[in-house]
Structure 1
């Protein structure tokens, strides 16, 4: 069975939703929020810099039309990398749950290099979202040269998966099951 590649390789300055940007630096503030208050309005905050492979969530039209100053991104991992810090995902059948949308906040994309090998698939974690300055993301993407971009309809499926995480509505009660 031949699997179509979800990705196209590009080398352009324009940013689009679904651009895969490896090696982005992300500032992570480290502070004690209980020390902020009326009596101490300022506190020095330590910043740790972590490196992530990220994928752009911001809509392409907003990126193209200069409507934003910050870009919304989330981390993207190889399956083996994700399993290192999430041991429960090594169990049989768990990745099939992710694949079918039964694990909220996670989305699978084929590998841009070996789309037919499901163990090479990429895990997008929508539960970790970062906002980085547009200028930084643009400069980083430009310095990468060639990079991967999700193709349609995989881009729309990715976008829909992100939206599903945030549009969930929990009701206090519902019609009883039939």
Structure 2
């Protein structure tokens, strides 16, 4: 039996950053934002689509541990084959090496929890598909999974840093000339 350096299986009533939550139900409101809004104190109905998505927790573990959040930030995580099916450009040779090197912003690769040596089974985190879901809902969902995968250090910190890099970018109107 080999020990997975990337993930650990947990079965506990806690929630941590880096918890992998497969098949979680995510409600998504459907409406035209240009026509939505209250008119003359009238309420409007909003249609909601419920999607079953694989998610990974982004909220910091310290905030989850200390009950500092009512909402948990999560993002989607895909099998490479599933991501390529929806995004055929990523099936081209060398594209995943660009993601692995951090050159494709918004995407991050994680080793497969069940087969970390097979890069074709790696997981694609899409930091551009973010959801905020109630803490109690996510905690119950995670706890109801018999076992779930949790990223181990230092891969957890690398994952967190990749997310931070996407949101900490600063675009300048001008800079000093190139050398």
Fold in common (TM above 0.5): yes
Matched, 1:73 2:49: no
In structure 2, the residue corresponding to 1:123 is in which secondary structure?
Answer: strand
**Cα distance change of structure 1 residues 144 and 4 upon mapping to structure 2, 3 Å threshold:** closer
SS in 1 for 2:129: coil
C-alpha contact 2:24 2:52 (8 A) present in aligned 1: yes
Partner residue of 2:174?
173
Unaligned runs of at least 5 residues, structure 2: none
My pick for the range that moved more, 29-38 or 131-140, is 29-38
Equivalent residue of 2:26, what SS? strand
2:21 aligns to what?
21
Which residue is 2:46 aligned to?
Answer: 45
Q: Structure 1: how far apart are the matches of 2:5 and 2:114?
A: 8
Verify the 8 A CA contact 2:13 2:143 in the aligned structure 1.
Answer: yes
Q: Cα offset for 1:172?
A: 1.1
Task: Give the ranges of 4+ consecutive aligned residues of structure 1 lying more than 3 Å apart after TM superposition.
Answer: 37-42
Alignment of 1:50-129 (within 5 A): 50-129=51-130
Shift of 1:67: 0.7
CA shift for structure 1 position 3 = 9.6
Say if 2:4 and 2:113, in contact at 8 Å, map to a contact too: no
The SS at the match of 1:126 is: strand
Contact 1:5 1:112 in 2 (8 A): no
Partners in 2 of 1:169 and 1:150 — Cα distance? 29
- Say whether the 8 Å CA contact 2:37–2:44 is kept in structure 1: no
Can you list the C-alpha shifts for 1:141-178, whole angstroms capped at 9, x where unaligned?
Answer: 11101110000000000000000000001111111111
SS in 2 for 1:175: coil
| 1:16 alignment partner, SS class | coil
Separation in 2 of the partners of 1:139 and 1:4?
Answer: 26
Task: Give the TM-score of the pair, scaled to structure 1.
Answer: 0.95
**Pairwise CA distance, 1:42:** 3.3
**Alpha-carbon distance between aligned partners in 1 of 2:178 and 2:159, rounded to the nearest angstrom:** 31
Structure 2 distance, partners of 1:30, 1:38, is: 16
Aligned residues: 177
SS at match of 2:78: strand
> 2:59, 2:67 → 1: CA distance?
12
